[in-house]
Amino acid sequence: MPDIFSTTGTPYADGKILKHTAGGVGVITFNNPDKRNAMSLEMWEGFGEALTALRDDDTVRVVILRGAGGKAFVSGADISQFERVRHNAAASEEYAKRSAAQRALLADYPKPTIACIQGFCLGGGMQVAMLADIRLASHGSQFGIPAAKLGIAYGYDGLRHLVSLVGPAWARLLMYTGMRIDSAEALRIGLVERLFPEGELWGETMTIAETIAQNAPLAIKAAKITIAQVLKDESRRDMEAIKAIGNACMDSEDFREGRQAFMEKRKPQFRGR
Ligand code: COA
């Protein structure tokens, strides 16, 4: 195991969610391996708490999401809870509200996020992965949204992201059949950005995260904000926000540092201001 996991980390949801930090990288681990990291409501809420803590930690510049146990990223919502908390429309609305509030934190996250996927990534796990900025996966991972096999409607936000990643036709094929696809197919249709052998996934993910952590935070924020606006309908686009972050970059100490470091042929030290 890499060093970061030799420390205990901060537990949430009775340890079913773990938070680590090291060298500017924050890591959230879905840690319910006996159930292939299926998400209970308590885990959704713990996930939200961990996201908030890493968002507010100024030393953290990028956040990785991963599953424990090597078999799954997240196998979806915990179906064993459904009889109690999601058995009809009214109960489902309350359930959706509580879990959606945590996903909204990820959707509006101010720092870059990476989903590191090894094994099954299903249902609500796909929702989490699709909300991350970047998806890296190991060969042998499997992806799917089996909502039609359970009788669940998969919601607007999840499908919006699915359609924007893979297009409407693949979204329909996946949703109508509830089929699982392998990592090669996921890569081909744009559901994941890069694939690695299992033994290399974590190291490669950390390398990318560390690269992001060492780059200029305001420039990354500008890219994140601008890309999010590109994805909105033109009528809802906040061009002022793009201009404001652009100006913040050009007036920043980091831009001065970036220029000087280039001229002096040294590595820049960025501070996010
Ligand atoms: N909710 C609750 N429990 C789950 C779960 C989920 N989403 N996914 C897996 N589990 C549990 C299984 O019930 C099983 O529990 P048990 O050991 O008490 O029998 C355990 O995790 C291991 O699962 P198992 O099916 O034996 O492992 P597998 O490696 O053969 O298959 C999956 C893994 C994820 C493919 C399979 O468990 C599955 O299809 N899960 C449901 C996925 C789903 O429909 N998600 C969408 C929910 S909206």
pLDDT at site 6: 54
**CA-based diameter of the chain, in Å?**
65
Q: Is the pLDDT of residue 7 over 70?
A: no
Average pLDDT over residues 245-261: 96
Q: How far apart are CA 220 and CA 24, in angstroms?
A: 14
Mean pLDDT of the chain: 94
C-beta separation of 209 from 54 below 8 A: no
Instruction: Report how far residue 217's alpha carbon sits from residue 45's, in angstroms, rounded to the nearest whole number.
Output: 27
How far apart CA 175 and CA 149 sit, in angstroms, is 10
Structure tokens at 229: 């606006």
Q: Which helix (H) or strand (E) holds 2?
A: none
Q: What pLDDT is stored for residue 92 in this prediction?
A: 84
127-153 mean pLDDT: 97
Residue 84 has a pLDDT of 84
In the structure, what pLDDT confidence band is assigned to residue 83 with cuts at 50, 70 and 90?
confident
CA of 159 to the centre of ligand 1 (A): 22
Q: What percent of the chain has pLDDT over 70?
A: 97
Q: Are 66 and 103 in contact (CB under 8 A)?
A: no
Q: How confident is the model at residue 170 (pLDDT cuts 50, 70, 90)?
A: very high
Does residue 206 carry a pLDDT above 90? yes
Secondary element (H or E) of residue 212 = helix 198-214
What are the extents of the domains in the chain?
10-214, 217-263
- What is the CA(113)–ligand 1 centre distance, in A? 26
> Is 87 or 76 the better-scoring residue by pLDDT?
76
Q: What's phi and psi for 78, nearest 5 deg?
A: -75, 105
Cβ neighbours around 254 below 10 Å, total: 21
Structure confidence at residue 95 (pLDDT): 85
Taking CA atoms only, the protein residue closest to ligand 1 atom 4 is 35
Is the CB of residue 54 less than 8 Å from the CB of residue 40?
Answer: no
pLDDT of residue 1: 38
pLDDT of residue 94: 84
Cα distance between residue 92 and residue 130, in whole Å: 22
Q: Identify the residue whose C-alpha is closest to ligand 1 atom 42.
A: 75
Higher pLDDT, 82 or 20: 20
| Minimal-distance CA residue to ligand 1 atom 45 | 76
Cα atoms in the 13 Å half-sphere on the side-chain side of 115:
26
Q: Are 182 and 142 in contact (CB under 8 A)?
A: yes
Residues facing 19 on adjacent strands: 10, 28
* pTM of the model as a whole: 0.95
For residues 35-54, average pLDDT: 97
Q: Are 42 and 92 in contact (CB under 8 A)?
A: no
Q: How remote is the CA of residue 37 from the centroid of ligand 1, in Å?
A: 9
Q: How far is CA 251 from CA 185, 217, 222, 223, 246, in A?
A: 44, 14, 13, 16, 9
pLDDT at residue number 140: 97
CB 166 within 8 A of CB 189: yes
- Over the stretch 171-193, which tens digit does the pLDDT of each residue have? 999 999 999 999 999 999 999 99
Task: Tell how far CA 173 is from the center of its chain.
Answer: 24
Mean pLDDT, residues 198-211: 98
**Whether pLDDT at 75 is above 80:** yes
Average pLDDT over residues 164-173: 97
SS3 23: coil
pLDDT at 245: 97
Fold of 10-214: 2-enoyl-CoA Hydratase; Chain A, domain 1 (3.90.226)
Residue with tokens 């959704």: 44
Q: How much is the pLDDT for 165?
A: 97
Ligand 1: centre distance to CA 45 (Å): 21
Dihedral (Cα; 139, 36, 135, 3), 10-degree rounding? -90
Closest ligand 1 atom to 150 CA: 44
